Each structure stands twice: as structure tokens, then as C-alpha cells.
Amino acid sequence: MNIQEKYVISGAGTGIGRAIAQKLSSADHICVLLGRNENNLNDTLSLLKPNNKHQIIVADIRDKANLQLAVNQSNLVAVNGLIANSGIGGENYWGDNDRWDDIVNTNLTGTYNFVNTFLPKLQKADAKKHILITSSILARLGVSNYSAYCASKAGLLGLMRSWAVQFAPEKILVNAICPGWVDTDMAQQGLQGIADNIGITKSEFYDIAMQSVPLKRMSRPDEIANLIGYLISQESITGQCIDINGGAIMNSIASGAYELALKYSKVRKAFGKEIAQHQAIQFKLADMATRIEAARLLCLKAAWEKDNGLNYDLSSSMAKVFASETAMWVTVEAVQIHGGYGFVKEYHVERLMRDA
């Protein structure tokens, strides 16, 4: 019999937050749904497995006083987990209408406020205690005109690692997830916005975006929720960021390192000619390209088996481990091709190797 646990989920009114609530309620856990829009929260509540202990809290995580007042009125005593999922996206531009403050205050400062406000309730729990943070693949990758979003999501990873150390003596596990493209309203709006800016249709940009995703599709909110379900079930992982993006980050890291190494090899000269003309460098570049392609094909095979209703446990595991190892191996080779410059921050390969 499952032990009934209680989880507070911010941003629970739509998308990933709603899917997380549905996942946890299906496992007989109690969900406390937090957000700014009461109608959205009630819509989520109506989808949960019936339990008269579920509740909603209408509060703005950007406002510490408002958040504390809502908590005080909630009559919560103890909770087993805080799932910091609230977030907004979109572009920002310097100027009078810059959205920097709104995005950073929601995604980063809001998460800080949310966790610290509910922390005393978490510390009173007798059983497992978890803090889970929804970051993004863009914490690791840059996108033009998304400076506030990328910075805020990267900041969440620093926050997670700090808290993991700080709260470890209290047996509170702190982890983050980094989703890629997830089929939510926010993602669809992002697709449309980028497509409009570059003058193509949303469908055309979707095809472009999926080129960097080995599985060639967006993740579903319920798939993200399944990962959250696993993380709250375990008692040993802490201080980690889990990527869930169809293989995009590993192949993006490897491909990025390869492209930088290839470009550098065509401008750096040794013994009177470009190093790309030296056989030793050619061997390295060829091996890098081969492993990257093999990682992509393994991911595609796992996706094909899933789409055709076949068991993909083995193929997906093989794809995961090979893509991860490829990212590390390729970035090391890229650093070696750069020589001493590969360890200098002015050359991006050192960052890619650290990410891998």
C-alpha cells in the first residue's frame, strides 16, 4: 500500500504543472495546487483523482508577502515535497518594454520565494523530503533574444546545487529537470513567436527546431510528470540536473564541439598549413563525426521502436549511454584540437566540455 504523501506544486494550473498533479494524484498523493489563476487551478483540480484533501492556493510567487499570507491561510502542517514549476517564457529586448524583470522575478526569484516560504512545512515532514525545480534545456544553450529566460533558467541550476548542499544534513533531496521542447501552450506560443520573427510559418519552424532533437518530436507533459514521479520515489539522488529533451542536449553538445573544432582546424596553421590538412587532425574529426551520427541513429532506432509499439527498453538505454559518452568524448577531442586554447574561456569548447 502506498504511503499518502503531500506535494505543493507551483504553476499547477496548466501544462507541465497540471500533468505533474495528475501523475501524483493517480499515485494517491495529496496535491496542493499553487498559482495565480484560480480558474486554471480549479480546472486542474477537477482532473485529479478524487480526494477531499487536495487544495488550491491562489498566490503570486513574485510577492513574498502575498505568498506568506496565502500559506498562513492554507492550514498546511507538513508537506513531503515542493515542486517549483512556475515559469514564463518569451523574448526580451532592452528598452522601455524590456521583460527582463518580469521573467527573472517569476522564474528565478519566484522559485527562491516559493521554496523558502514553504520550507518550514517541508522540514516538518517525517518521511521523504524533496525539492524539485523545473529548469530548461536553455539553461545550457543560448537562444538569441531569450537572455532573461536563459539566464533565469541557468540561475535555477545554481540555486539547486546550493540548496542540495545546504539541505543535505536535513535529508532533503534537491534536484532539477531540464526539459527541451514540451507540447504546452507556452511552447506553442514560443514556436509562433520565433516563426513570426524570422518570417516563416509555425509548422516550418517546428521542422527546423526538431532537426536538433534526435527523437524528432516534442516531449509530452505526462512524460515530464513521469520523471518527477520517479525523482520523488527515490532516496539517493540529489544535486543533479536531469535532461529530458529527446536526446537534444547530448547531441547538441557533441555537434557544437565538432563544429567549433572543424572551424578552428581550418584557420589554425602548423608547419606551414592548416591543421585540418594534417592526417592526425583529420582522423580525429572523422571519428567525432562518426560517433555523433551513431548516437543520432541509436536515438532514432529507439524512437522507431516506440512508434511501432515495440519494446524499446534496450535500445533507449543504449542510446542514452552512448549519446552521453559521445558528448564527453567529442568535447575532449575538440579541446585537444584547440590545443592550449581549448582551456581558455574565450573559446567555447571548454564550456561544452564542462557541460558534458
Residue 123's CB: how many other CB atoms inside 10 A? 13
| SS3 of residue 164 by DSSP | helix
Pairwise CA distance, residues 232 & 48, whole Å: 18
Pairwise CA distance, residues 330 & 352, whole Å: 10
pLDDT at 1: 41
Per-residue confidence in pLDDT tens, the chain, 356 aa = 456 789 999 999 988 999 999 999 998 899 999 999 999 999 999 989 887 789 999 999 999 999 999 888 888 889 999 999 999 888 889 999 999 999 999 999 999 999 999 999 999 988 889 999 999 888 877 777 889 999 999 999 999 999 999 999 999 999 999 888 777 887 788 778 777 877 888 788 777 777 667 677 777 888 889 989 989 988 888 998 888 766 556 656 777 788 888 888 888 888 888 988 999 989 988 998 898 888 888 888 887 887 788 888 888 888 888 888 888 888 888 888 888 887 777 767 777 777 76
Burial of 97 (0-12, 13-18, 19+ CB in 10 A): exposed
pLDDT at 301: 86
Terminal-residue alpha carbon distance, the chain: 40
pLDDT at 234: 86
Cα separations in angstroms, 8 against 26, 47, 130: 15, 16, 11
Say if residues 238 and 173 touch (Cβ distance below 8 Å): yes
**Residue 10, C-alpha cell as written in the block:** 507551483
Pairwise CA distance, residues 135 & 98, whole Å: 22
Pairwise CA distance, residues 137 & 154, whole Å: 9
Q: Which residues contact 240 (CB under 8 A, 6 or more apart)?
A: 175, 176
Pairwise CA distance, residues 220 & 222, whole Å: 5
Pairwise CA distance, residues 33 & 57, whole Å: 6
| SS3 of residue 95 by DSSP | coil
Residue 310's CB: how many other CB atoms inside 10 A? 11
Burial of 269 (0-12, 13-18, 19+ CB in 10 A): exposed
Amino acid (one-letter) located at 31? C
Domains of the chain in start order, with CATH, are: 6-244 (3.40.50.720), 248-355 (1.20.140.10)
Instruction: Give the pLDDT confidence of 302-313 residue by residue, as tens digits.
Output: 878 877 888 888
Beta bridge partners, 8, equal: 32, 82
Report DSSP state, residue 219.
B
Task: Kindly report the backbone phi and psi dihedral angles of residue 331, in degrees, each rounded to the nearest multiple of 5, phi listed first.
Answer: -65, -35
**Residue 110, C-alpha cell as written in the block:** 519566484
**Residue 136, C-alpha cell as written in the block:** 530548461
**Residue 270, C-alpha cell as written in the block:** 602548423
For cell 572543424, what's the residue?
A: 262
pLDDT at 252: 67
Say if residues 342 and 334 touch (Cβ distance below 8 Å): yes
Report DSSP state, residue 339.
G
pLDDT at 304: 85
What is the dihedral angle through the alpha carbons of 70, 74, 80, 82, rounded to the nearest 10 degrees?
Answer: -20
